[in-house]
Structure 1
Amino acid sequence: MNHRSKHANFKMKRIALALAGLTLTNSAVAQQETTEAEGGIEVINVTAQKRSENLQEVPIAITAFSEDAIRKIGASDLNDLGLYTPGFESNNATATQTAWTVRGITTNDFGIGLDPAVAVYIDGVYIGRRGTSNLNFNDVERVEVLKGPQGTLFGRNSAAGAVNIITKAPVNDVEGNVRVTLGNYKKRKLEGLVNLPINDNWSFRGSYTNNNRDGHIKTFGREDIGNEHDWGARAAFFAEYDNFEAVIRADVSSLNQDSRPAATLNTGYGPGDPFGVYHTDGGDDVYEARDVKGVSAELNWHFGDITFTSITAYREFERYNGMEDDGSAFDRARFVSVLDEDQDQFSQEFRLTGSSEKVKWTVGATYFQEDIAQTTDAKFNTQSFDGFALTSAGVDPSLIPNIQQGLGMAGLYQQFIPSSTLAGIVNDTIFTPEQVLGLIVAANYGKPHIETTANSNDIESYAAYGDMTYSVTDKLDLTFGLRYTRDEKTFDIFTQYQNEIEIPFAGYDNVPIGIAFSVPTDVTQNATWNKLTPRFVIDYQWTRDFMTYASYSEGFKAGGFNTLGEAPPVDEETVENIEIGMKSSWLENQLRLNVALYSYDYTDLQNHELDGPVGSVPTYNLRNVDAEGQGAEVELKWQATRDLLVSVNYAYLDTEYTKWEFFPWEIDEMAQGLTVEDRVGEPISGMPKTQYNVAFDYLMETGSGDISWHFDYAYSSERQQDIDGPTLPILPYNPADVTGLTADNKIDSYGIANARITYFPADADYEISVYARNLFDEEYLLAIGGQAMAVGSPIANPGLPRMYGVEVNYRF
């Protein structure tokens, strides 16, 4: 090949990558082997309906990201894609305790009693737990986010939506690369892959990544926090014989780093500035760690127009998540929670797909089995009882440091110590009842207090499904799908009093005490849930470039159990969703406009809350609520010139709770004329009403090579705080004084800009990139509130500051 033709071929590859840009609602960027160039914006095939199809002809709202798009926005895991996927919210401040939200729906339980509402799949394998659903991207081909119920094709726990992560399969060629990234905060990342043909039928692909970064948050008297330390490896074998092909995959990863950074907003406990120097007592138990292993075998037999697929997988993980929930160094508010999990799962799917002139169809069956065990530690000081008691009594938490030490502790102890014991001590001594309590408090003050609950959950799930698309005419298609799912769960919970109130008087026994998990429990609960979930779609291809569709779909998430206390199982979640959409291309595929409008009714949404009667220490409880939502998602892509691609997307969401189930004590309090919080009419927490993203990709040709320029800006409007802790009648801070909050205590709107410039030298096997994520160093919050509101210490979790660096990628 001569110099000119070699350079032209290389340039075309770079142009294809540059035009990939940032993906949008109902669209996807270039996929490795499925892009069809049609003289304008790429037309892509996806597998959202379990078969390869042109995305512009798939009647589902999808956002997909190619490897190139992921790198351009600097995303290293699924959590980083939330800002760029309208209708999808991530905002997780921790890698091992994630929650995904689609169109306002999520699961806020950190335990193992409930399942997530958004299903995550890696290479067709369901990833069942939040502790392992956010793995670092490693040799990923694309990521697809499917919005709305996916109960027919993806099944259990996809009531809100599903995420499909597809890694690269081996190819019959020699290829590889080594990528080194260096950045601020001593960022060091090494990535590498190699692909080798073994013989005419077999090939191998292996990849490795190792990522490290120092902390970015200054602390008072401690080292910086917020670091990253993780590595992962992946291997795959591909075999092809006549009408048979197989992909055998294995992966392993490990993470050990600081847990979620949190700053108290209580100005009496600390500075109250989530973007300042943190005052924290830390501790050896405050970190997160995770080890993951998995193997799978995907086998495909082709018989003419029919393909039989078998996917067999086994996965396991261990995770530890220790978080400082109070975000302060104030000893009367110490609150550390620790989750320690051990999980293994087995899954099997059999699937048949086929097509004829008029019909495309899929039928299948799945089996999923999971064993998971979790211990939950709540760690306090006995001084923390001051925060519990005084906050529960309605005292302004910012004033607690000025209140006599042990006063709240004395009131709490009085609830546990038998009145006969106190009376006996008074009769045996010269002390008054108040003095007796004071002496007991003094004897216990400053001691550690740790409570532990142990859980296990054994789950078996069975499902059978079918989906068929019938072409009534060349333009009109009708799709009908139906899945039957059955979930069987056996849940064990065990806890006991592990602490005592020392009684410093002869002849009197110490008194057992427990506040976090209330009462000793040793119980096994069994429950079964089943559901038929249909979908119906009608779509009409008006012209080759213009399609409209209307769909009705249902989703299902099994009921579950209160991880931290015995209670009846909560009901299953169900959702009914109606959606209409349009997918279109104009000006000979130079302009693309896609629109999706939807409305859903959600029944028995499962909320996990720290709550309790007025004046008592709150405990963890579950309630079912109903909600509804309506929204719109719009995508526009414009190939403005041969070298310039402009991408815009927009999402609007309006939600509200329509039914609010009350706890028993709330019903009693209402009967007494007390005011009880009722969120009916309020928006679902944690989701912005408006999101949009704008991106520009430009390829500039020079005599020495090509330069690719990328810039994007993502905006998220204000949103309610999550429901994950007790409501404070008096806030210990002024929201208007906190960066990242609105005056009415909502998380403020924010915008994040990213930029990346890549230089491709002519006739070279390497490329150099410089990048900046959060280019303008926007200060924004991911979440506020938290469990430590129970001790008067609501916290704030900040987003990442500006991150910048350089990447060098060498291909061979």
Structure 2
Amino acid sequence: MHARPFPGANRPNVLAAAVATAIAVQLSPTALAAELEEITVTAQKRTERITEVPIAITNVGAEAIKQTGVRQVREVAQFVPNLNISSGTDFTTTVTMRGVGSDSRNIGFDTRVGVYLDGVYLGQSPAINQDLVDLERIEVLRGPQGTLFGKNTVAGAINLISQKPSDEFSGSVGVEYGSMNSRQLSATLNAPLSKSLFSKISVNRQQRDGYIRNLTTGNLLNEQDGSAYRAQLMYDAGGAFNAILAVDGMESDRLSTTGEAVTNPFGTGPDTGAPEMHQVAMNVDPREEREIRGAALTMEWNLPSDFTLRSITSSRDTEMTYNNDTDYSPYPLVEITYTDSYAQQTQEFQLVSPGADDFNYVAGLYLYQQEGDSYREVTSSKFFEDLLQAQYGAPGLVNPDSPVVSAGIVDTSSIAAYINGSYQLTDAWKLGFGLRYSEEQKEVDWAIDGSGAPLFGTATGTVRDDRTDSHLSPTVSINYALSEEANVYGKYSGGFKSGGYNLDFVAAGDLVAGTDFDKETVDAFEIGLKGTAFSRQFSYSLALFQSNYDDYQVNQFVDLGQGATSISIRNAAEVETRGLEAEITWLASDNLTINASMGLLDAEFASYPNADANGSDLSGNQLPNAPETSFNLGGQYYLPINSIGADLLLRLDYIFRDSFYNTAENESKRTLANGDTVQFGQVDAYHLVNARIGLESHADSWNAALFVHNLTDEEYMVNTSRDFLGTLRHFYGLERTAGIELEYRF
């Protein structure tokens, strides 16, 4: 391990300052009437108090989702330490946890953070960023979750848990209107159909104008236009059997953003077509069409021996079409169209032991089947052909009548068996254990034809292959109860990310060398402290972690010169991440709640020789998308106004993200051929402030609120990127937005 300072050691400790400020406000010597609600989670597939679970978990409840204005999965990251979710295109949503994530548009490349809906895996990147429709809570589990969740959770897991039907007739209608002509309509209806059959339906419609002006077409990009729904039918007669059938889906068709070009198409000079921020000059508007459908049947049998048998059967389909002017210019040079689809089926059986015994466990069998289908096309134009011939004096560098095409299918089948449990050694000591054996097979039938564009250096050929990965993922923990309200734990866990295939626009040499890459593995160590204090008016959690990755899979653009690009996935040697996470919630009075969270992170390539064609050694470089410090501070105050039968709510949130690199090379700027320099490869630190003021009825029948996001109107960047021909691009966050929301409940 490199002897580097602990992350954040040489900067002001913002969490310490916040905690010191909070402690400086004298706690009342008399017990307050209110106390924090006890939080239970199902991270280990059984209901447990969050303070007793040896996992670094952030629980975002329904009230927090509502009051912070979180609308989509990617927005949750603002309130979770060491979690980063990319903004922009939904086609390649990247979730990074503790510095580790997957940035790829490749059907042969899996995620490192699994996202689940009621325990069902949502799948690849296009299915991740969903609207948050009628959720009970979000559980964010940091660190490898291989024993219970399986493959592709080497960095962590996010579980979205929906509100279930109940035996009361109830419902709600909500509307929202705000900046950029944003509109949202949501509704829920809970209807008991009999004494044992209950139903619930939830719908959401969200629209917003774009804010990036395409000077060529006149349209506004990065708009929102989507619908989502969830319908549930639950059977519960109070006996030994209960079941719930859930169907969900979403549709989105929008002009998206693929960034704002800061160079010409080949990255050799500045972009002169749209020099201002929030402007582009593209002859084709980027567009995304996304449709997601899912169904799950969960059945439970309470056996006479007090064991519980659970079955979860699911089917999910995702279809995505993405179109972009990949030269980012007003001229018809190069255009791309991707059409990907994923169809998956899963079956899981769980046997849950009685909860009253000293020896508790969950044993399970998991089956997974997915077919990924991809068709991708790069087309050029006669204008581009003539331009290249004039510049290079050679005809046929691109052929407008012969697009570059890649197409194929990846079939994935996996089976896993696991057990996870604990044994109460004494009143204070508890031993945790887990083991999962996984076996996965991938079959690929894929072809690429780059013969129509020699300029790009793209391969021509086919790949018909199969590979099998197997892995044993263990976990062991020891938990010591300092008191009834405080626990300290130590934990080791292992996991793996399956191998796969580089099925993108690869160079001829990469195709000859082989497109497959090996699985990666992780060994992670963590110690933590969780608990409550001051008569349950103060809750806290602290985790220190170290994770070591072997055969880490890296996805990156390789510049072949003269506009030629290869997209390569390879196994880097070693990656190390370490850091700290802390979260507190303080009920300072009956009416005032303060919360804070902080993540400190040091994520690096411990060994990465021969990282590119030039033999560069990137050992010691920071991982992309891994800010050293992330921080959130929030306060919420209720003021009763009895004359109108309502509470006045005031909420303020402060969010900080440290600077971070986008590339393994750790660039911060790029010098162009004309001598100009542009920012590339590094995102600067930024600060955001969100505010909310509202009224909530004492009868819980209505609420109204005004909100502002990015109150200080900070201009901030969230990403930089390079595209197919070499164009350098910037992605910016939203400017200040405000709105009003109304909700009626019955």
Fold agreement, TM-score > 0.5: yes
Q: 1:276/1:228 Cα in 2 relative to 1: closer, same or farther (>3 Å)?
A: same
**2:447 corresponds to:** 494
Preserved contact between residue 92 and residue 104 of structure 2 (Cα < 8 Å): no
Q: CA 1:612–1:283 in structure 2 vs 1: closer, same or farther (change >3 Å)?
A: closer
- Report the Cα distance in structure 1 between the residues aligned to 2:105 and 2:531, rounded to whole angstroms: 42
User: In the TM superposition, what is the alpha-carbon distance from 1:325 to its structure 2 partner?
Assistant: 3.9
Classify the secondary structure of the residue corresponding to 1:218: strand
The alpha-carbon deviation at position 243 of structure 1 amounts to 0.9
Which of 611, 630, 637 does residue 578 from structure 2 map onto? 630
In the alignment, which residue of structure 2 is the partner of 1:171?
166
- In structure 2, how many angstroms separate the alpha carbons of the residues matched to 1:651 and 1:639? 22
Map 1:149-298; keep pairs closer than 5 Å: 149-221=144-216, 222-241=218-237, 242-266=239-263, 268-271=269-272, 276-283=277-284, 286-298=286-298
Taking only aligned residues, the RMSD between alpha carbons, in angstroms, comes to: 2.7
CA distance in 1, matches of 2:683, 2:676: 10
Partner of 2:9: none
Shift of the 521–765 alpha-carbon distance from structure 1 to 2, 3 Å rule, reads same
Q: Distance in 2 between matches of 1:489 and 1:142?
A: 34
Distance 2:275 2:55 in 1: 40
Tell whether the 8 Å contact from 1:725 to 1:785 is kept in structure 2 after alignment. Answer: no
**Quick check: which one's strand share is greater?**
2
C-alpha distance in structure 2 between counterparts of 1:461 and 1:89, whole Å: 28
Specify the code of the residue in structure 2 equivalent to 1:226: N
- In structure 2, the CA distance between the partners of 1:546 and 1:38, relative to structure 1 (3 Å rule), is farther
Q: Deviations over 1:550-604 (max 9, x none)?
A: 0000111110111124324211011100000001222222222211000010111
Query: More displaced, 161-170 or 38-47?
Result: 38-47
Counterpart secondary structure, 1:56: helix
Q: Which residue of 1 aligns with 2:64?
A: 69
Matched to 1:796, the amino acid is: H
- Superposition deviation, residue 722 in structure 1: 3.4
Match of 2:648 in 1: 707
- Residue number in structure 1 paired with 2:460: 520
Determine the structure 2 residue equivalent to 1:802.
736
Cα distance per residue 1:209-267 (max 9 Å; x no partner): 11111111233241222211100121100101311110100112110001224111127
**Shift, 1:615, TM fit:** 6.7
Cα distance between partner residues in 2 of 1:607 and 1:279: 30
Bigger helix share: 1
CA distance in 1, matches of 2:670, 2:716: 25
Distance (whole Å) between structure 1 residues aligned to residue 145 and residue 631 of structure 2: 24
Question: Is residue 617 from structure 1 mapped to residue 564 from structure 2 by the alignment?
Answer: yes
Change (3 A) 1:274 1:769: farther
- The SS at the match of 2:66 is helix
Aligned to 1:582: 529
CA distance in 1, matches of 2:336, 2:635: 43
Within 5 Å, give how 1:389-408 maps onto structure 2: 406=388
* Structure 1 partner of 2:50: 55
Does structure 2 retain, via aligned residues, the 8 Å contact 1:266–1:733?
Answer: no
Aligned equivalent of 1:545, options 478, 481, 485: 485
State the distance in 1 between where 2:699 and 2:35 align. Answer: 26
Partner of 2:620: 681
Partner of 2:15: none
The DSSP-based 3-state class of the residue aligned with 2:78 is: helix
Residue 417 of structure 1 corresponds to none
Matches within 5 A, 1:326-475: 326-329=327-330, 334-355=333-354, 356-381=356-381, 406=388, 409-410=391-392, 437=393, 440=395, 450-475=403-428
- Paired with 2:311 and 2:455, the residues of 1 have a C-alpha distance of 49
- Contact 1:262/1:327 (<8 A) preserved: no
1:291-334 deviations in whole A, cap 9, x for unaligned?
11111100001124311000001111211122344434366xx4
| Structure 2 counterparts to residues 308-319 of structure 1, below 5 A | 308-319=309-320
- The farther-off stretch of 251-260 and 150-159 is 251-260
- What's the CA shift string for 1:263-290, capped at 9, x where partnerless? 1112744259886252322426x20011
- Normalised TM-score (structure 2): 0.89
Q: Helix, strand or coil: the match of 1:185?
A: helix
**CA 1:406–1:328: 2 relative to 1, 3 Å:** closer
Which TM-score applies when normalising by structure 1? 0.82
Structure 2 CA distance for aligned equivalents of residues 563 and 724 of structure 1: 23
- 2:550 aligns with 603
Three-state SS of the structure 1 residue aligned to 2:149 is coil
Deviation of 1:496 after TM superposition, in Å, equals 2.2
Amino acid at match of 1:543: S
Rounded Cα–Cα distance in structure 2 between residues aligned with 1:590 and 1:258: 47
Q: Hey, what does 1:428 align to over in structure 2?
A: none
Q: Which amino acid aligns with 2:221?
A: I
**Corresponding letter in the other structure for 1:479:** G
Distance of 2:82 and 2:669 partners within structure 1 = 30
Is residue 451–residue 517 contact of structure 1 (8 Å, CA) maintained in 2? no
Residues 294 and 616 of structure 1, relative CA distance in 2, 3 Å threshold: closer
Alpha carbons of structure 1 residues 183 and 644: separation in structure 2 relative to 1, 3 Å: same
C-alpha contact (below 8 Å) 1:383/1:409 kept by paired residues: no
Distance 1:693 1:729 in 2: 32
